[in-house]
């Protein structure tokens, strides 16, 4: 701490103490036996101290240190947002042309997290859903699609966007999607209730004005 800074802090601390003493100026009687007035005065002083602490922060460097001992075990709340954690086409045309899905996992903290996101895609007719996980332009990966991740900072997101298609084109069907995240180790995530979301894609056999997000396929 620089000399000027130290002087400033001492001055600020003195001013703070003077203000606190003024707030207690009414405490002129000692509490003894049935001296109710002294008791009431002490209660008023306690309220004055609380009000003073609300209105005046303790000067920098004079705070009481708060001991914080790490538990030694990481804990982090991984979650997939029900609003945006799993984005899939609401409807698509049943061709071999690929579409995208995006899965996003968030680390709610407090520690840095690791784990695995698994996306499953099951069709109503039992046909396969194929993805291009390595981005080489060919759809060769069968559901489930697994995305491990490490070193996800508290408050950070990790997203994967993948092209996919259905294995049997020209079939009217429905794809049921589920994305689930599991921490590594699983017990590091204290809240499993926000770890999974589901979505649906309606697959139609002709274009017919469809293919966009949010439309009604029927």
CB of 142 or CB of 156, closer to Ca ion: 156
Strands 91-93 vs 113-123: parallel, antiparallel or unpaired: unpaired
Q: How far apart are CA 58 and CA 140, in angstroms?
A: 63
Integer angstrom CA distances of residue 23 from 11, 19, 45, 66, 149 = 19, 6, 7, 26, 56
Shortest distance, position 193 Cβ to Ca ion, whole Å: 7
**Interface residues for Ca ion in 77-116 (CB under 5 A)?**
77-79
Shortest distance, position 104 Cβ to Ca ion, whole Å: 14
Which residues 6+ apart lie within 8 Å of 130 measured at CB? 139, 140, 141, 142, 164, 165, 166, 167
The 187-206 site mask, x for binding Ca ion (CB under 5 A), equals: --x-x--xx-----------
CB of 78 or CB of 197, closer to Ca ion: 78
Ranked by CB distance to Ca ion, the top (closest) residue is 191
**Interface residues for Ca ion in 45-64 (CB under 5 A)?**
none
Terminal Cα-to-Cα distance of the chain (whole angstroms)? 71
CB of 23 or CB of 106, closer to Ca ion: 106
Binding site for Ca ion (CB under 5 A): 77-79, 189, 191, 194-195
């Amino acid at each position: 701490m620089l000399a000027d800074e130290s002087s400033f802090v001492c001055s600020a601390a003195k001013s703070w103490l003077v203000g606190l003493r003024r707030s207690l100026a009414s405490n002129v009687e000692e509490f003894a036996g049935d001296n109710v007035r002294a008791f009431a005065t002490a209660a008023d002083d306690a309220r004055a101290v609380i009000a003073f602490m609300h209105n005046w922060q303790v000067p920098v460097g004079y705070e009481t240190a708060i001991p914080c001992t790490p538990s030694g075990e990481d804990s982090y709340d991984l979650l997939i947002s029900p609003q945006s954690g799993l984005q899939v086409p609401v409807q698509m045309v049943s061709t071999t042309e690929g579409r995208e899905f995006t899965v996003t996992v968030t680390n709610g903290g407090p520690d840095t997290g690791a784990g695995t996101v698994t996306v499953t895609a099951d069709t109503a007719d039992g046909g396969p859903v194929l993805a291009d996980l390595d981005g080489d332009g060919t759809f060769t990966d069968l559901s489930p699609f697994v995305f491990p991740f490490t070193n996800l900072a508290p408050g950070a997101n990790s997203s994967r966007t993948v092209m996919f298609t259905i294995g049997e084109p020209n079939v009217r069907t429905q794809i049921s999607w589920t994305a689930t995240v599991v921490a590594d180790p699983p017990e590091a995530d204290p809240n499993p209730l926000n770890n999974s979301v589901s979505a649906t894609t309606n697959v139609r056999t002709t274009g017919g004005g469809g293919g966009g997000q949010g439309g009604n396929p029927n």
